[in-house]
């Protein structure tokens, strides 16, 4: 249905409590956080809230993470905020689909641009891939999330999860790579044949190689990250 009376519009698009707990998918592209304390969220992802909630930019955060982000990375995708208070917080990121993950004393590594929110009980560490500086136009950093709690990640369109097994490596485009299991340590490799094309950007000439036993999540979209001067 594409035509509504005002009453029908409100009824068709209204917020609905589904009783799913701390993180709830209000729509496939909108995350509702039922906040009674604090949560980490991607800076700029708040679209609405109800209640009393305060926000702190990453420069004020503990564990030196804010300083680490500032020194190593650029762009909005590299910035976190902490939301504290009580109420309902609604998060979204450029209309991307949202996946809610329940970590159970395990770990996942997420492309920094695809991390939407996480429970403050989750231990997290920002990492830059070796040899990456100057090779890619963006997506230079990853966040390792470990412990027990909820993590919300995003992907353009429908994500695909590929199994990585011993002797059968999986190769991905960094700009299409969303996340991977915490036990994997991808290496960057250069495809010489792609580099020979005149005018070809970094694109597929730089690839991520996953070996071992785990999984990698990719999206059917090559996300290009704009960089700014720090």
Dist CA 13 CA 9 (whole Å): 6
Q: What is the pLDDT along the chain (230 residues), one digit of tens a residue?
A: 678 989 999 998 898 888 889 999 999 999 999 999 999 999 999 999 999 999 998 654 455 544 454 444 444 445 789 999 999 999 999 999 999 999 999 999 999 899 999 999 999 988 876 555 445 544 468 899 999 999 999 999 999 999 999 999 999 998 899 999 999 999 988 876 655 554 444 445 789 999 999 999 999 999 875 443 33
CA angle 211, 214, 219 (to 5 degrees): 90
Give the global pTM.
0.84
List the one residue out of 29, 48, 35, 139 whose CA is nearest residue 92.
Answer: 29
The answer to whether residue 229 is domain-embedded is no
Structural domain contains residue 141? yes
How many structural domains are present in the chain?
A: 1
Asked whether residue 7 is domain-assigned, the answer is no
Q: How far is CA 179 from CA 60, 121, 227, in A?
A: 27, 20, 21
Which sign, positive or negative, has the C-alpha torsion 117, 118, 119, 123? negative
| Residue 203 is assigned to a structural domain of this protein | yes
Identify the residue whose tokens are 């709690």: 149
Q: Is residue 124 part of a domain?
A: yes
Q: Answer yes or no: are the C-beta atoms of 115 and 79 closer than 8 Å.
A: no
Give me the domain span that covers residue 91. Answer: 18-218
| 160 located within any domain | yes
Residue 69 belongs to a domain: yes
In a domain, 230, yes or no: no
The CATH number given to whatever domain includes residue 110 is 3.60.160.10
């Amino acid at each position: 249905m594409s035509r509504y009376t005002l009453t029908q519009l409100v009824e068709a698009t209204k917020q609905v409590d589904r009783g799913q707990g701390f993180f709830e998918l209000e729509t496939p592209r909108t995350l509702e956080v039922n906040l009674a304390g604090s949560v980490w969220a991607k800076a700029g992802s708040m679209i609405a809230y109800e209640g009393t909630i305060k926000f702190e930019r990453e420069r004020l955060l503990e564990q030196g993470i804010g300083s680490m982000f500032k020194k190593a990375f650029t762009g909005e995708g590299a910035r976190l905020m902490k939301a504290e208070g009580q109420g309902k917080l609604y998060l979204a990121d450029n209309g991307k689909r949202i996946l809610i993950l329940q970590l159970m004393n395990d770990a996942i590594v997420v492309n920094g641009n695809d991390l939407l929110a996480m429970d403050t009980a989750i231990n997290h560490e920002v990492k830059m891939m070796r040899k990456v500086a100057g090779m890619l136009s963006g997506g230079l950093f990853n966040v390792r999330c470990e412990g027990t709690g909820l993590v919300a990640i995003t992907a353009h369109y429908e994500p695909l999860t590929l199994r990585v097994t011993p002797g059968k490596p999986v190769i991905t485009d960094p700009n299409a790579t969303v996340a991977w299991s915490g036990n994997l340590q991808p290496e960057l490799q250069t495809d010489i044949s792609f580099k020979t094309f005149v005018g070809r950007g970094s694109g597929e000439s730089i690839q991520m190689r996953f070996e071992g036993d785990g999984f990698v999540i990719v999206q059917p979209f090559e996300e290009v990250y704009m960089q700014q001067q720090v």
